[in-house]
Amino acid sequence: MFYFQTTNKHKFKEAKEIFEKHGLELERIPEKYREIQASSLEEVAIESIKEIGKKNVFIEDAGLFIKALKGFPGVYSSYVEKTIGNGGILKLMQGIEERDAKFVSIVAFLEEVSPPKVKVFKGVVKGNISYEVRGKEGFGFDPIFIPQGYNKTFAEDINIKMRLSHRKKSIEKLARYLRHRR
């Protein structure tokens, strides 16, 4: 049995479906955990999972990294989304032609507690920032993110998001690792 510590039911549902596809059982630990302030998602996730200190548990942290803004909002994505939101990001991007961006997901899995043995899995989806908020599906920055090779935002076509999801990629890597570890 494996555990995903998250307060987000939607993230858990996505992870549970992936685990079931690989013949693995997954339960949710619906508790918040402390996240340090750091310059990389990897560092935040590794330190958070070590602090949780429970074997066979994983967490997931994600962010939107915009090239023209030197990677902002990055590790601060959740806070930025809650405070200035999509409209604030679009204001920061006014007059900027270079719209390259990527969503990154980091999964940190605690295999052993003492000493801590952490495995990290990364999922990335590249794309661009739109010029306006588009679509009603999804959440967070989905209404302003257009994945590479498409002309719709994640919020305009949830099926595209489900197929290309950065979170799906990182959790899929974890599930494959666990299945082969048996």
Show which residues are catalytic: 61
Per the structure block, which two tokens stand in for 72? 């902002």
State the pairing for strand pair 100-112/57-66. Answer: antiparallel
Are 101 and 129 a contacting pair, CB within 8 Å?
yes
Residues whose CB is less than 8 angstroms from the CB of residue 60 and which lie 6 or more positions away in sequence, other chains included: 4, 6, 11, 15, 45, 105, 106, 107, 108, 167, 170, 171
Q: Which of 123, 10, 152, 62 is nearest to 144 (CA)?
A: 152
H-type helices in 53-93, by residue range? Answer: 77-83, 85-92
Taking the C-alpha atoms of residue 173 and residue 150, their distance in angstroms, rounded to an integer, is: 24
